[in-house]
Every structure is written in structure tokens, then in C-alpha cells.
Structure 1
Amino acid sequence: MEQAFSRDEVTIDFAGFSSETLHGALQEPLDKIRVGRLTQQSITMRILVPDMSVAQAAPVRMTDGEDDQRLRDRMREIMVSYTRSIRDSFAELKQLGLVSETRIQVRVHSGTPFFKLYVINGEDAFFGYYPIRPNKVVAQGETIEIYDLVGKDTVLFHHSLNDGESSSGAQQVQQARMWFDSVWGTIGRDFDLDAH
């Protein structure tokens, strides 16, 4: 992520489950901007996450494999919290005059994401699978055993246009951009972070 910020104009497209790991990955470069070790003209980010108002393949209860509104509410709260924090950090950088322009857009779709994808500056793609594992979570004051998508330790595979135009890495980046833009522009729906 820090390499993304070696440019004056940074673009990041993220598709995944909650944006929690994206939030964590951004902390170091944002701190370096705050102390003047990195300088950017603009930062543009698009975040594509599932619509937790509709049933998902996961998370679901372990006991019967069924959807549970409490689990979806919990995941929506996690996504909104981390994504608001990213937006607010960007706004702070602009307010302080450290970055001229910041823009963050969030869209949701009705599919369950089984992978996470970062497309950085249109040239590098990082892709990793979410394993589904048993987990215990507290939702609305009750401990629930669930099958959960686990992304914190996901191995990310790196692909780059710098690998050469006909390389599989360049093709992966091109396909990742095409996939992201296709979902963003068709079934992706704008999500207002302040309305939730």
C-alpha cells in the first residue's frame, strides 16, 4: 500500500467484505502524509462491499446454516465504521491542506464476496481468497457460533502491469480492472455512509 503513495495522484479500488483490512493497510501511509514524509495531490478511492440488508452465503449460523439478521447488522456496522474512518481520515488530510483533493465512494452489491481485491493506481492488483471458518461472535448481546468469512490473514497475490504487456500479471491487472468496473457500473449501488 505504501508504494501506492509514491505517486502524486493515488487511486485505490477495493472490493471485499468489510474494508477492515483496507483501513489497517492505510494507516501507515496516512500517518506519513500527516508528518510530511509523503505528499500527494489527490487520493481517490472506490470501495465495493456486499449489501448486508440482503441475505448472504456467509456469515450464517453454524447450527443450521441459516441467515441471521443480527449477523448482517453486525457486519454492516463493521463496514460502516471502518469505511467512515477512512473517509474521515481523507477529509482531515484535505482540511489540513496536506492533500489537495480526496474522494471516496462506496457502492454495495447483492453478492457474497469470496475474495478481496485491491487495484492500486490502475497498475497493480492484489487478490486473495476469504476462507470460511467457524467463529464465535457477539451480536445484539448474544454469542452466536457462525461460519464466517475470515480476511485478516488472507494471502494476497500480486500482479503488475510492470511484468510486461503480454505477461499473465498484466493480464490479471487488466481483468481485475475490467471486473471491478463492470460490477461498479452495473449492479453496484451507491451507499450513503451517513444514512446508516
Structure 2
Amino acid sequence: MNGERTTGGARREWERVADSLRHQIVAGEIAVGDQLPTQAELVDEFGLARATVQRALKELQDEGYVESIQGKGVFARNWRNQTPAHANGVAHRPDSASVELDDAIAEAFEAEHITIDAYCLTSESLNAALSRPVGRILRGDLTPSSITVRLLLPSPDALLAIPRNVSDRDDARPRRRLAGLIDLQARVLHNLLGDLENRGLATVVIETKTVPITPMTKIYLLNGDQGLTGYYSVAPNNVVLDDGTTLSIYDVLGVGAKLYPQGSLQLEECRRWFDSLWNTIAESV
């Protein structure tokens, strides 16, 4: 188990290009009004056909992130104004109303005091989304005063419903593997944000608690005013254990899962729900 992995295989290549460019625009690496690399440059950078690059640029244009000017090139637009958003201001794709975690985290890091409450299987997706704004802080582009993270994760010591051996539900090896993945991603998170505090760039507080529940949803609450919800899928997955054994397990898969913005009432209810677990049966690790 990779902690969170899509069941549908790798993303389509044009999506990979579109995601990369979109994240650069949202993070400010490509500023509003800046010209994007030419199609020829993108073909060389990604090693893809020109038609694939053109499809990615069309997607970004449809979403309002870029505009194409005949004879001049493709330029970044003011995506905050051009891209539809929910009531809390999080940009999303108009065709699906889903939100990219990278984009939402990038926006949250514009605040002075950043708070992130996350309920998930591991912090793998969160770590990936944090890498870009952390880079901006290191470069001096962002100057938050504080970053506070509360992680609510499954307890691998409990008899979780998933992950489990397809043929032997009492096999403890899938849960031990999950414990290793949780520990690995927790160390990545602490190293990623802890480095900011070590450099005196922000005050960082990370708290982690576990509950004896396999999450069927992933939830992110950002700065107290943005909430995102996604759904894990349960599917068979062949994994390789540390001893080289290949094991078929029922797994919870979530990388690439669509996240949807919460309305104000749902956000308030979700905050109460998160706090109810955090303050009662959740155990510190």
C-alpha cells in the first residue's frame, strides 16, 4: 500500500502538464501577466507530443488560469477573479467543482497565522501540497508568523477494518505496514515544517493523534474558514512487504481523489466533529 494511491493508474499526460502549470500560477511562480513557456519549450520539458501540451493549455484556458494572445503567446491570468469559487473563496475547476489540495494549501499560506486540521490515512498528500509554499517561505516570498497543524490518523495498533489481507483478515502485517507508512510521512512533515522553525522563519506546532478507525473520507480544515472533503476508495492492492513477500490486501486508496469544498454550515459541523474526536477518544502519539 502506498498509503494513498489512485486505482485508475497514472494521470493522463495532459493533466500532468496542466497540474504543473496551474500550481506554478497559483503559487506565484508564474505571476499574473507573465508569459508561459512556449509550446516547444513545454514539449522539451515534459517529453510529450505537441498535441498533449496544447490539450493542457486549453484546459488551463477553459479554467481561467491563462489566456492565449494571437501571435504573442500564452499568459497567466488573474485566476482569483477568473476562476469560479465557493463561498469561502477557494478556487476550483468549473467542470467538476473539485479543488486541488495544492491550490487550497497555497492560498491558505497567504495568511499570517496558518492552521491546518487534517483527518486522513497518512499525511502523504498533505506533505506533497506543503512542499511548494514551504519553498516560497524559504525564498522569502511568504512570511507567515505561525503554522499550526493537527493530524488525526488511524491507529495501526487497533484492529482496523482496512488495510487487511484479502484471504486472512487476522493477518497483522498490513497494519504493521500502515504503521510504517504513517511514521514515515509524520517524519517527513516534521522535517519539512520543523526546518522553518529552526531557521527562525515561523513558529511551528504539529500535534498528532490517532483513533481506532479506518478513515473513509479525507478532510482538511484550513485557517478555520475553508473545508475540503474527499472520499477514499476500497480496492484490492498487491503490496511488497519489507521481507520481499507480495501480499494481496484490501486497501484504502486516496491519492488523486477529488476534494470538494464545504459550505459554511457543513464547515461548522465538520469543525465540531473533528474537535469531538480530538478531545475525546483520540490518543496522542
Scaled by the length of structure 2, the TM-score of the pair is 0.62
Does residue 111 of structure 1 match 2:219?
A: no
Tell me the distance in 2 between the aligned counterparts of 1:20 and 1:79: 9
| CA apart distance, 1:55 | 1.2
- Contact (CA 8 Å) 1:18, 1:79: kept in 2 or not? yes
Tell me the distance in 1 between the aligned counterparts of 2:146 and 2:139: 17
Does residue 3 of structure 1 match 2:97?
A: no
The residue that corresponds to 1:164 in the other structure is none
| CA apart distance, 1:153 | 1.5
SS where residue 32 of structure 1 aligns?
helix
The residue that corresponds to 1:128 in the other structure is 230
Identity across the alignment (%): 35
The residue that corresponds to 2:201 in the other structure is 98
Does residue 41 of structure 1 match 2:135?
A: no
| CA apart distance, 1:68 | 2.3
Does residue 17 of structure 1 match 2:121?
A: yes
Structure 2 residue identity aligned to 1:71: P
| CA apart distance, 1:11 | 0.2
Does residue 76 of structure 1 match 2:179?
A: yes
SS where residue 109 of structure 2 aligns?
helix
Tell me the distance in 1 between the aligned counterparts of 2:221 and 2:162: 24
| CA apart distance, 1:67 | 3.6
Runs of 4+ deviating beyond 3 Å: none
Structure 2 residue identity aligned to 1:127: T
SS where residue 28 of structure 1 aligns?
helix
| CA apart distance, 1:20 | 1.0
Deviation digits for residues 79-122 of structure 1, max 9, x if unmatched? 111111111222210111211x1000000011111110000001
- Consecutive unaligned residues of structure 1, counting only runs of 5 or more, are 160-168, 192-196
SS where residue 157 of structure 1 aligns?
strand
Structure 2 residue identity aligned to 1:38: L
Does residue 188 of structure 1 match 2:273?
A: no
The higher relative CO (CA closer than 8 Å, separation ≥ 6) is in: 1
Does residue 178 of structure 1 match 2:272?
A: yes
- Contact (CA 8 Å) 1:62, 1:146: kept in 2 or not? yes
Deviation digits for residues 163-190 of structure 1, max 9, x if unmatched? xxxxxx1011101101100000001000
- Contact (CA 8 Å) 1:13, 1:45: kept in 2 or not? yes
- Contact (CA 8 Å) 1:51, 1:108: kept in 2 or not? yes
| CA apart distance, 1:134 | 1.1
Structure 2 residue identity aligned to 1:88: N
The residue that corresponds to 1:152 in the other structure is 255
Tell me the distance in 1 between the aligned counterparts of 2:126 and 2:272: 21
Tell me the distance in 1 between the aligned counterparts of 2:179 and 2:242: 13
- Consecutive unaligned residues of structure 2, counting only runs of 5 or more, are 1-104
SS where residue 145 of structure 2 aligns?
strand
Larger radius of gyration: 2
| CA apart distance, 1:73 | 1.1
- Contact (CA 8 Å) 1:59, 1:67: kept in 2 or not? no
Bigger strand share: 1
The residue that corresponds to 1:140 in the other structure is 242
Count residues in correspondence: 180
